[in-house]
Amino acid sequence: MSEKWELTREELADFVSSLKEEKEAFRTPLEDLMKSDVILAERVNGEIAGICGTIKGRVFPRLYLVVRGEHQGKGVGKKLHLRLKECVEENYFIVKVIVRKNNKRALSLYGDVDYRIVKEDDEFYYMIRMTRYKFFQPIVVLLFRLICRFSFFVKYRLRIFGGNK
């Protein structure tokens, strides 16, 4: 991997703490980012313009991507995603991303690279992308929706009967 893409833990912490208006849309805690399977950086003039990576989830790995405000709309996010795609396709056949409904740029980016909305709530869209076995996508979307419903049902039932408060 070239130096352009590499990122130390210190650089990651500095980048996250330096985010301004992007912090509202990017709420992945630093301790979760430190557990990333893959993490990449895009640099412009030696400065980190954006980062992306994957974090193992209970069912599917979750992708995250954030681009500094002054670099948004200039192809940084797309470059990061394409590089990440090369890294994760070997290991995962499904990747999940959670996007705020008001984040139009992110929705446009993920729509352009074949992510599908499988669930939504008041604040977020939950999207997945299949890296291979794409003919199974309708079945996977259905399974994902069922898992989400079952997960909600279990949490709700536990609350009613006094468990997991």
CA dist list (Å): 20 to 43, 122, 125, 126: 18, 24, 23, 24
Kindly tell me if the per-residue pLDDT of 4 is higher than 80. Answer: no
Q: Is the pTM for the entire model greater than 0.85?
A: no
Instruction: Give the model's confidence band at 25: pLDDT under 50 very low, under 70 low, under 90 confident, else very high.
Output: low
User: What pLDDT, on the 0 to 100 scale, is given for residue 127?
Assistant: 84
Q: What is the CATH number of domain 9-136?
A: 3.40.630.30
Domain boundaries, the chain: 9-136
Q: What is the pLDDT of residues 122-132, one digit of tens each?
A: 988 888 887 76
- Mark 33-56 as b/e (b = at least 16 C-beta within 10 Å): beebebbbbbbeeeebbbbbbbbe
Nearest Cα neighbor of 54 from 14, 77, 85, 8 is 85
Q: What is the pLDDT of residues 68-121, one digit of tens each?
A: 888 988 989 889 888 888 877 777 777 888 888 988 888 888 888 788 888 888
User: What pLDDT, on the 0 to 100 scale, is given for residue 2?
Assistant: 43
Q: Which residue has the tokens 């003919």?
A: 135
Q: Give CA–CA dist 125/19, Å, rounded.
A: 22
